[in-house]
Chain A
Amino acid sequence: MAPLPLQIINLCAALMLLLSFAMLSQRRVLTLVDLFALQGLVLSISIGVVAWNTGQPHLYYSAGLTFVLKVVALPLILHRLIRRLDARWESETLLNIPTTLMAGLLLVMFSFALAQPISELATTLTRGTLGIALAVVMLAFLMMITRRKAVTQVVGFLAMENGLFFAATSATYGMPMVVELGVALDVLVGTVILGIFFFHIREQFDSLDLSHMESLKED
C-alpha cells in the first residue's frame, strides 16, 4: 500500500487524464473552458500535495500561482471573450469525435512508452505520473490540431501548458521559481494577445473559423 500523498497524486493524475479526454470530446466552448479550469484546480491540488509531502516552500507558491492564474483569471478572461465574441459552439471538428478519442488513446500509449525510461532514471516520489503528464500535453496538442475555432486553439494551448507543469513537478519537483514565474507571465500575456487577435480575425473574416485563413496563402 502506497503512502497517502502518493495515492492522492496518482488520483490527481488520473483525473487530469480523464479531464483531457473530456476536453477532447467536448464541443461546447463554455464547458470546455470550465473543464480547463477544473484541470487547473486538480493540477494546483497535486502541486500542493507534492509541496506538503516534500516540504519545498517554493512549490506552495507555484500551486498558488497555478490556482490564481488557471482556475480564476484565465477562465474568467475566456468566458468574457466567448460571450463578447458570441462563439459558444465549436463548428464541425476536422476529425469526428470517436476517431479523435481513438487517436488520443494511441497517443496515451505512446507517451507511456516514452516515459518508461525516464521514470526509471528519476528519483522522485511522483515519477510514475510522468507518462500521464506527457499524455496530457499530447492530447492537448491533438485538440489543437482537430479543432477549427480560434478560441478552442487557445484553450488547447493552455491545457498543453498544464501538462508541461505537471510533467515538471512529477519529474523534478518543479522548475525553478524564476522559470515558473516567467512561464505564468507568458501564458497570461499570450492569452491577452490572442484575445486581441480574435477580434481582428473576426473583423476580417466575420467568423472565428480558422479555415478562412487558408485564403491568405500565397501561390
Chain B
Amino acid sequence: MMTGYPTELIAVTALGCGWLLIGLLALARPHSVSWVARGLFPLGALAGIVLTGLALAALHHSAQTLVLPLGLPQLPLHLRLDALSAVFLLLIGATSAGISMFAAGYFRTGEGTAPGLLALQYHLFLASMLFVVLADDAFSFMIAWESMALSSYFLVTSQHRIAEIRRAGFLYLLMAHLGAVGILLCFGVLQGGSWQFSFAALRAAHLTPLWASIAFFLALLGFGTKAGLVPLHVWLPEAHPAAPSPVSALMSGVMLEIAVYGLLRVSLDLLHAQVWWWGLAALGLGLLTALYGVMFAAVQTDMKRLLAYSSIENIGIIFLGFGLTVVFQAFRMPVLAALALAATLYHCLNHAFAKSLLFLGTGSVLHATGERNFGRLGGLIHRMPWVAWLVLAGTLAIAGLPPLNGFVSEWLLLQSFLFTPTIPHDFINMLLPLGAAGLVLAAALSGYVMVKFYGIVFLGQPREARLAQARDCGRLERLGLLWLAAGCVFLGLIPVQMLALFSRVTEELLGASLGTLSQHWWLLAPLSAQRASYSPVAFMFSIVAFVALTLLTVRLLYHGRVRRAAPWGCGGSSLTPRMQDTSEGFGQPIRQIFEPFFRLQRELPTPLERAPHYRVQVEDRFWFWLYAPAAALVQRIARLASVVQQGRISVYLLYSFLTLMALLVLVL
C-alpha cells in the first residue's frame, strides 16, 4: 500500500499527455490514412488499456494529489486522483480502447476533415476528458471542460461542408456554452466569499442553505445540459447523427458520463449540505428524461437518432439513481445511499460500453450500406454476421436483459427503490413508488426500442436490393466491437467484484461501504440475502444450457429436413420485403399511446391518388415550447439594439462623446 508518492496519478497524467502527443504526431503526415489510422489510433487504444489498469490500481490506494506549476502565475494546476476519479478513468480508458481500435479501421480518406486533424481533435478530446476527471481546482476543471467541448464540436462538424451538420454543430456549441456558464457560476457560488478556487477550499467553504441550493441547481443546469437532461436535451439527437460514428460513440458513451461525474463531484463531494428536495428534483427530472427519451426513441426512423434518444433515456436513469442517492443521504441512511450510488455508477459504466458498441455497429452498417434510415435496411445478419452478433450483445445490454450488464444496474436501482418505505417522511414515501414504476416502464420500453432497432436492421429481408452487396466490417473494427461486447458480458458476470470497487467511492463520498454484500463471489445480494439475490453466472449457464438443448433437439428431430424460407414468411414464400413490418409500423402503438407527448405531422393519402404516399413526422414539443420562444426573444432584443445603429458617423461620435461626459461626471 503506497500512500505518499502519487505513482498512479503521475502515470495517468503522463498518459493524458501521451494522448496529446499522439494527436500532434498525427499532424506530421495529416493526409496519410495508413499513418494516422493504422499507426496512431491503435497506439491510443493501447493507452486506453493501460489507463484501465492504472485506474484499477488507483482504486486500491487512497487519494493522491499533485500540483503542477503550470498555467497562470499563482494558479498552478491541481490534480487529484481519488476513488470517484478512478472509476471514471476506468470508464474512459476501457471504453476508449474499444472505440479507438474501431476507429483505426473506420476512418478512410476523403471524408471531410483530413484524418490527421481528426486524430488530433479525437485525442485532444480524450485527453481533456481525462483531465476533467483529474482536475482539483475550478480553473483547471473549466479549462479541461471547455477544451472537451471545443474539440468535440470540431469532431461533430468534421463534415462541415453539409449545412445541416454545421447547424447541428452550432446548436451543440450553443448548448455547451450555456452549460459552461452554469458550471462557472456554480463554482462562483461555491467559493462562498473566500475567492479560493481549489476544490479543497470549495469543500471547506460554508454556504447558507439558500446559496447551497443555488449552487446545486446551477450544477444541475450546467452538467444536465452536457448530459442531455430534458428539457436541455435537444442537441443530442442533432449532434449524434452529424458526427462520425466513433465520435458519436465517444460522445454518447463517455462524454455524457463525464457530465455525470461533474455533477457527482460537485453535489456529493464539494457540497456537503444535503437537502432532500434536491434529490427529489433530480429524481423527477431523471424520470421525465428517461420516459421522454425512450418514447422518442421508439418512434425514430434514423438509427443514430434512435440511439441518441436512447442515450437520453439512460442518462435519465442515471439521474434517477443520483436523485435517490441524495434523498437517502439527506435522511441519514448512508448504506442505502451507497447502494443507490453504486447502482448509478454501475449504470454509467454499462451505458458507456453498450452505447458505444451500438454506435460503432451503426457506423459499420453505415459504411457497408451507406444508409442510416430504417426504411431501407433489413436482413443484414446474413451479410454482416460479425457486426450483427456483436451488436446483439449491446442491444440486450441496453434492453436490460440478464445476464448482461444492463440488467444488473437497473436491478440494483430497483432494489434501492424498494427500500424507500423506510424513509421517515410521508410525502416522499408516497411519491417514490411512482418513480420505481416509471423506471420499470422506461426499462420495458427500452426493451421495445431495442427489439425495433435490431429487428428492423438485422433481421427479416433486405428492404433494398443493393443491401446484398453489404460487406462485414474489417478486422480492426471487429476487434473494437469485440472488446466492447466482451465488456458488456463481463461486467454483467462480476457484479459482486464491481460493487466492491464502487464501495471505495461510496466510502469516500458518503462514508458508508457496501461491505456486507455477499458471502459468495457469485451471488449478488445487496443488504440481505433474504430480500433478494441474483446470480448472473447461474443465469448465464441456464440460458446457455437451454439454447444448446433446443438447438440439439431441433438438430436431432429434424435432421436433414430443414428447409429455408424467407424470414417471417411463415414457411411460404409469398412475402415480399415491402410487406414486412416497418419502423413506423413498429413504433405506431407507442405513437398512439403516448400521443400527447409528441407533436405529430401526418400526411395521409386520399383513396384517389395514383401514387399514394404516407408521411409522418414526429417533433419535439420542447423545441416549440422552450427553444423557439427563446430564440424569438433574442431576435427581438437584437432588433432593439439595432435602433441605435444609425449608420451616421456623427451619431456614433455623439454616442462616445456622451459616454465620455457621463463617465467624467460620474468619476469626478
Contact = CB atoms under 8 A, between A and B. Distances in A.
Interface of A: 94, 110, 114, 117-118, 138, 141-142, 144-148, 153, 210-211, 213-217
A145 B650 contact: yes
A214 B647 contact: yes
Contacts of A210: 648-650
Contacts of A147: 650
B546 interface: no
A117 B657 CA distance: 21
Contact of A110 (B648, B649, B661): B661
Interface in B623-668: 645-650, 653-654, 657, 660-661, 664-665, 668
Contacts of B647: 213-217
Given A141-B657, A141-B660, A217-B645, A148 B650 contact: yes
Given A114-B668, A117-B668, A141-B660, A217 B646 contact: yes
Contact of B650 (A94, A110, A117, A216): A94
Main secondary structure of the interface of A (DSSP, over half): helix
A68 B645 CA distance: 40
Nearest to A117: B668
Contacts of A142: 657
A148 B647 CA distance: 13
Nearest to A142: B657
Given A114-B664, A114-B668, A117-B668, A145 B654 contact: yes
Residue of B645, B646, B647 most packed against chain A (CB within 10 A) = B647
Residue of A145, A148, A217 most packed against chain B (CB within 10 A) = A145
Main secondary structure of the interface of B (DSSP, over half): helix
Given A110-B661, A141-B660, A210-B648, 16 more contacts: A94-B650, A114-B665, A118-B668, A141-B657, A142-B657, A144-B650, A144-B653, A145-B653, A145-B657, A210-B649, A211-B648, A213-B647, A213-B649, A214-B646, A215-B647, A216-B647
Interface residues of B, number: 14
B649 A153 contact: yes
B316 to A, nearest CB: 44
A118 B665 CA distance: 12
Interface of B: 645-650, 653-654, 657, 660-661, 664-665, 668
A201 B289 CA distance: 58
Contacts of A148: 650
Contact of B653 (A117, A141, A216): A141
Contacts of B650: 94, 144-148, 210
A110 B665 CA distance: 10
29 contacts: A94-B650, A114-B664, A114-B665, A114-B668, A117-B668, A118-B668, A141-B653, A141-B660, A144-B650, A144-B653, A145-B650, A145-B657, A146-B650, A147-B650, A148-B650, A153-B649, A210-B648, A210-B649, A210-B650, A211-B648, A213-B647, A213-B648, A214-B646, A214-B647, A214-B648, A216-B647, A217-B645, A217-B646, A217-B647
Contacts of B649: 153, 210, 213
A93 B653 CA distance: 15
B661 to A, nearest CB: 7
Contacts of A213: 647-649
Residue of B645, B653, B661, B665 most packed against chain A (CB within 10 A) = B653
A174 B625 CA distance: 62
A142 B656 CA distance: 11
A158 to B, nearest CB: 15
Nearest to A147: B650
Contacts of A141: 653, 657, 660
A9 to B, nearest CB: 23
Nearest to B651: A145
A114 B662 CA distance: 11
A114 B645 CA distance: 30
A82 B668 CA distance: 40
A215 B650 CA distance: 14
Contacts of A118: 668
B154 to A, nearest CB: 29
Contacts of A117: 668
A145 B657 CA distance: 9
Nearest to B650: A145
B615 to A, nearest CB: 38
A153 B661 CA distance: 20
A33 to B, nearest CB: 20
Contacts of A153: 649
